[in-house]
Amino acid sequence: MDETRKRIECLSPNGRQTLQSLMKQFGMLPFRDEQLLRHVHPGCSGAEYRLGLIELELAGLLKSYRKGWGDKVFMMPGAQFRRCWREVYPTLHPIAVDESTLQFSLDAIEEESPLPLGERLMHGVAELVNCGLAQTSKGSWPKRTIEKVVRALAMKEYDLAQLKLAAREPSCPLPYALFLDFALHEGWLVLEGRDCRLETRRLLSWLNQTQAKRESALVAFWTDQYAAAVPSLANAAAFVFGWPALQWCSPAHLEERFAMAIFDWCRLMTSLGWMEKAVTLGGQHVYRWVVDLGEATSDSAGPPYAQIAPDGDVFVPREGPQYAAFGLELIARRVSSDVVGVYRLEADPLRKAAESGISGERIFTFLNQINGEAVPLALVMAIEGWMSEGSGEMRETAKSRTFDALLSKNENKECPAPAAPEDRPVVLPHDTKEMTELRPSDPAALFQGLDSVPVTWRSQMRQYHPSTRRELVERALIWRTAVKLNIRGQAVPFIPDKLVEDEEGWRVTGDLSLDGQVERTLLAPHMWDEMMLVIPEFTKY
């Protein structure tokens, strides 16, 4: 963040204004410079904004790309957009709301809070493993697998709709596509043609992080990746990311369109288990983060821990590593997920574990690890009895291989970085995979033919013949720059945008800056005396 602040502080006023305009209008979406020029600040020329784009590229705050033989586009990477937002809009803050002004309805109290998405992703991976990681002969996922994973994710389609995203495969539900997208990004899953395998070293590394680190990284990923399709939502997400943890906040004082986007994003964050919602005594909706998005002080959550009762119930604290919970997802039944997750070791899941190739010996090794001591003898005997009821056929499966990997503790071994998938499961408007990154343009290229223009045209105010006046205006139109006009003894900037011809001759429309006000006006050449071209100076970062 400090590096981003330094870069923005070094920008010229024009560079900073260009940055603010493009962030507001396009968010993280790719845009052409001509699109940006439709939204220039009153009194600013297109040339100034084009120079601003080059300045931002040289500052490392913006990138330009070309897809094939298409137009050049500019784009701000998601993480860069989020870091820039607070520096570009330092005076925008939510209203802090005192908890004593809140009212909580009985329905809200009784409603179960959604699990943080990180836990649901763990449940989804476990369901995928339980289903066997197998794809169909056509390279698609079985309907049963999709249904089980989507049920574990418990994402609401209504809340996801505001993202304006779609799965690459039309038959794939968006929650499942989002699940695959993150799993492939993190390298847990590797797709090789029709084959899918679990990279357990990367999965274990993620499972053994602190809950705060897991969830805050997920919030950042969703902010940077999935808010991009709607510029107002991208700005809202970046704004909300900077809210303090556990502080009730309201955006109601902000411009209505922006405030509505903030409410939409907060509703989504609440459904994903990262925020809480309340209502003030005056009926105003307020939200707060329940995850700390600050820098995590530790990557590791410490040793896995669970408490195993003699009756087969296993209690796993949520704040601990998810290693224990993930292993239990493969051999036990999840009873509940709250502050403490509760699993039950019982006949049916243990019999299925045995049929999947997981031996009783390995199960006891795992249970002793997470319990910190030997499993009660009565439970050992019960487990042995339940597992003996299986088919007796021991075979290697995705489930048994995954369980073996849990016991090997190999998450710290060297693991290659995940390769980017050929096509992401989610269609993202800011995906640069098929684009070529370009170098920043030369500022001189914006003013082609400048050397052939008389120096006096751009160095001093002079009177010209109407035909020469037209030449200066035409040159200003080509370069999208301003001219300075002497009107009734006052030198004023004028930004032309169109020449108009009729039986009376030619005239020009544009923005005239007069007495601090910018007015749309139509001028004929006899309406000013002296004039000159204004070539904006380039501020090199």
Model pLDDT for residues 50-72, shown as the tens digit of each residue: 999 999 999 999 999 998 788 89
Average pLDDT of the chain is 89
State residue 304's pLDDT score: 63
Tell me how far apart the alpha carbons of residues 180 and 442 are, in angstroms, rounded to a whole number: 41
Q: Which residues pair with 427 in a beta bridge?
A: 166
Whether 24 has a pLDDT exceeding 60, the answer reads yes
State residue 196's pLDDT score: 85
Q: Which two tokens stand for residue 124?
A: 């989804």
Output the CA torsion sign for 165, 168, 174, 176: negative
Measured in degrees and rounded to the nearest 5, phi and psi for residue 190 equal -125, 120
Q: Tell me which H or E stretch contains 353.
A: helix 347-355
Residues 6 or more apart in contact with residue 516 via CB below 8 angstroms: none
Q: Which two tokens stand for residue 333?
A: 């039944």
Reduced to 3 states, what is the DSSP secondary structure of residue 495?
Answer: strand
Q: Which domains does the chain have, with CATH numbers?
A: 2-91 (1.10.10.10), 307-321+329-393 (no CATH), 449-534 (2.30.30)
Tell me how far apart the alpha carbons of residues 41 and 44 are, in angstroms, rounded to a whole number: 6
State residue 101's pLDDT score: 86
Q: Which two tokens stand for residue 455?
A: 């120096």
State residue 541's pLDDT score: 56
Whether 402 has a pLDDT exceeding 60, the answer reads yes
Q: How many CB atoms lie within 10 A of CB 220?
A: 15
Tell me how far apart the alpha carbons of residues 439 and 427 are, in angstroms, rounded to a whole number: 26
Q: What single string gives the DSSP state of each residue in 173-194?
A: -HHHHHHHHHHHHHTSEEEETT
Output b/e per residue, 443-464; b: 16+ Cβ within 10 A: beebbeeeeebeeebbeeeeeb
Reduced to 3 states, what is the DSSP secondary structure of residue 490?
Answer: strand
The model's pLDDT over 363-382, given as tens digits with 9 standing for 90+, comes to 999 999 999 888 999 999 99
The model's pLDDT over 65-105, given as tens digits with 9 standing for 90+, comes to 998 788 899 999 888 999 999 999 988 889 899 888 888 65
Q: Which two tokens stand for residue 224?
A: 């940077």
Of residues 531 and 281, more confidently modeled: 531
Confidence of residue 420 (pLDDT cuts 50, 70, 90): low
State residue 106's pLDDT score: 47
Reduced to 3 states, what is the DSSP secondary structure of residue 482?
Answer: strand
Q: What is the 3-state secondary structure (H, E, C) of 303-314?
A: CCCCEECCCCEE
State residue 138's pLDDT score: 82
State residue 315's pLDDT score: 95
Cβ proximity of 174 and 160 under 8 Å: yes
Q: What is the mean pLDDT of residues 116-122?
A: 96
Please list the helix, strand and coil fractions of the chain in percent, rounded to the nearest 5, in that order. Answer: 45, 20, 35
The model's pLDDT over 380-397, given as tens digits with 9 standing for 90+, comes to 999 999 888 765 566 778
Tell me how far apart the alpha carbons of residues 59 and 63 are, in angstroms, rounded to a whole number: 10
Q: Considering the entire predicted model, what is its pTM? A: 0.90
- Continuous H helices in 195-230: 200-207, 211-225
Measured in degrees and rounded to the nearest 5, phi and psi for residue 425 equal -65, -20
The mean-pLDDT minimum among 229-233, 419-423, 493-497, 501-505 falls in 419-423
Residues 6 or more apart in contact with residue 148 via CB below 8 angstroms: 127, 130, 131
